[in-house]
Amino acid sequence: MSGALLSILHRDLSLLLFGRRNATVLPVLFFLAVAMLFPFAVGPDAQLLARTGGGVIWVAALLAAILPLDRLIEPDIELGMFDQWTLRGISEEWIVAVRVLAHWLSFGPPLMLASLIAAGLLGLDGTTLRTVEIGLLVGTPGLAALGVTVAALTAGLRGGAALAGLLVIPLAVPLLIFGAGSLSTGGEGGLALTGAVSLVLLAIAPFAAGAAIRSSRG
C-alpha cells in the first residue's frame, strides 16, 4: 500500500512539477507578474508599497494557486486512473491526500522562493518578509487542500475550470484574512489562526474530495 502511494506521489510530482500539467512554472510567473505590475499601477511611493506589499503577495499567491485547478483531478478521472486505483483497493481518500501533498510541493515552496523576489520588487523590510514567508508556509497547505477539494467537486462539470476558481476565492477568504492580517498586527495570533484554518482544510480535503470523486462516477 505505501509502496503504491509512493509510486502515485512520484507520478503526481513529475506531472505537476515538470510534466504537461505544469502547475509550477505558470503560477510562479503569474505571481511574479502581479508583484511586478503592482508598483507600476500604484506608483513608486516606497512607503505605500512597503505597507501594502505583504497583502499584494498574499492576493497574488491565492490567485496563482487557482491556475492549475482544472488539471489536478479531472484528467485522471477521464483517463480512468481513479477506477484502476479503486480496483486495486487504494481508496480515493489516500489518493487525494497524496495529491494534496504533491500539489502543495509543486506550488507552495516555489511561491515562497518567488516571494523573496516579490519582496524586493515591492520593497518589503525584513520583518514583513519574515511574517509573509511564515504565513505562506502555514497557509499554502490549506490552499492546496482547498484547491484539490474544489477541483474534485467541479471535475466533469461544464465550465468546471472557471467554476473552480470562483468557488475557491470565497472559501479562501479566512486564510487571506488571517494570513494577510498577521502583517498589520505583526502578531503570532494571525499566523496561528492561518495554521488552524489550514489544518481544518487539510483534515476535510481527503474525505470531501474522495466522496466527490466517487459520486462523479454516477
Partner 1 sequence: MQAAALTAWELFCRRGDRLLFGPLDLCLEPGAALHLTGPNGIGKTSLIRMLAGLLRPFVAYGMGSSAMGSITWQGTLALLDERPALDQHLPLGKALAFWHGIDGGRAPAERLGLAHLLDVPVRYLSTGQKKRAALARVIGQGADHWLLDEPLNGLDRDGVALVEDLIAERRAQGGVVVIASHQPVELPGAQTIDLRDHPA
Residues at the contact surface with partner 1, assessed by CB under 8 A: 3-4, 7-8, 10-11, 15, 19-20, 78-81, 83-84, 86-88, 90, 217-218
Cβ distance to partner 1 smaller for residue 44 or 80: 80
Least spacing, CB of residue 14 vs partner 1, in Å: 9
Residues present in the chain in total: 218
Question: Which among 68, 198, 176, 174 is positioned nearest to 132, based on CA atoms?
Answer: 176
Cβ distance to partner 1 smaller for residue 15 or 180: 15
Cβ distance to partner 1 smaller for residue 80 or 159: 80
Question: Which among 216, 22, 195, 1 is positioned nearest to 95, based on CA atoms?
Answer: 1
User: How far apart, in whole angstroms, are the C-alpha atoms of residue 65 and residue 23?
Assistant: 9
Least spacing, CB of residue 106 vs partner 1, in Å: 16
Least spacing, CB of residue 20 vs partner 1, in Å: 5
Least spacing, CB of residue 209 vs partner 1, in Å: 17
Least spacing, CB of residue 211 vs partner 1, in Å: 13
Cβ distance to partner 1 smaller for residue 9 or 177: 9
Cβ distance to partner 1 smaller for residue 18 or 188: 18
